[in-house]
Amino acid sequence: MKKIYLDNAATTPVHPEVLAAMAPYFSDQFGNASSIHSFGQVARSAVDAARREIAQFLNCKSTEIIFTSGGSESDNLAINGVVESLKSKVESKPHVITSAFEHHAVLDTIIELEADGVIEATYIKPSSDGLIGAESVKKAIKKNTLLVSIMYVNNEIGTVQPIRAIGQMIEKENKTRDSRIFFHTDAVQATEYFEMNVDYLHVDLLSISAHKIYGPKGVGLLYVRSGTPIKHQIVGGGQEHKKRAGTENVPGIIGFAKAIELIDRSKNERLKKLRDRLIDGLLKIPNSRLNGSQEERSPANVNISFLNAEGESILLNLDMEGIAASTGSACTSGSLEPSHVLSAMGLPPEECHGSVRFTLGRQTAAEEIDKVILVMKNIVEKLRKMSPLK
């Protein structure tokens, strides 16, 4: 049975050219980049070159990049780092603004800070089509607001937030304030498809993860604009401009840079056509609905709810047919709670539990889309016949 992989938002296969670029740094060029001897300096030179390449992609300085273990650490470092750096410098409790449907790496970090009494927080609910407007963020700003964190592309429903408009609004607000508001975006799901020029986006902090763009797992980065105060969260060495201690993941960083080099956004149109083909086919199944705007959406994301068909059961049946999909983000796939993303958009629990996320990739073919549509019709029909809900 030929398997079909439609869970690229969870992770992507490592591109062969990425693997080839990494290979020498596992054994032949294995030095610690912090060592002063020749082995270490070969590794240091490779890391520095990778940092420059990625900085060019983001249109930033090399010194503004902090390599991390991935998107979750980058999000944690951005939020905790800014809050801890500034909390003693504001007269009242710091205020942080985010959306109610962020990735848990952002959402749970802010919830914990609020529960510990460190900050007060505002969680902006998205519109019914899964969007956060700049005006909604503006209305939430208070005198003590110091940080806004809004994700670029939602990891579950793929909706694209107006990051540039939000960033421009915050810059305008900052001109009238005594204290500055810093703006962070989790761009993990956006990197492959959308503009990442940090000046164009008007962001102060931005998170990326390599394994979402055909790079290796275990490496990511946080862009930190010069002048943005951030307190380190890991101590033990002077790596990453003393902002993130720990021996550099040299092969991972090399692979990360190569993965970024291989991004080709001219392929977006092909993916959009396949995405829309899948959406059109699945919406022909009775009592189904697309979650999130179809227009302001990642070219790779399809999230649909099927009434009276349980999402986990759909996934198990798909897997038996050799098709990989998900019911939301990989980080919460073990949870029995309804999707916090869909709940924030106002969907009732029964529709949340019937949702399935298909995420396309570079390898996705038209015949695979057609097979998934056919298989899904049969699965949903079978599960509905078994369901006590009619």
Number of neighbours of residue 336 by Cβ within 10 angstroms: 6
Size of the chain, expressed as the number of residues it contains:
390
Instruction: Please say whether the beta carbons of 206 and 58 come within 8 A.
Output: yes
Structure tokens at 10: 């969870």
Number of neighbours of residue 226 by Cβ within 10 angstroms: 9
CA distances for 5 relative to 75, 224, 254, 311, 326, angstroms: 27, 34, 26, 17, 10
Distance CA 107, CA 164 (A): 21
DSSP label at residue 63? G
Half-sphere exposure of 36 (CA within 13 A, CB side): 0
Active site residue 352: no
| DSSP codes, 69-121 | SSHHHHHHHHHHHHHHHHGGGSSS--EEEEETT--HHHHHHHHHHHHTTS-EE
What is the pairing mode between strands 323-324 and 288-290?
unpaired
Instruction: Find the catalytic residue in 234, 245, 330, 331.
Output: 331
Instruction: Please say whether the beta carbons of 26 and 251 come within 8 A.
Output: yes
Q: How far is CA 207 from the centre of its chain?
A: 8
Instruction: Please say whether the beta carbons of 259 and 22 come within 8 A.
Output: no
Catalytic residues: 331
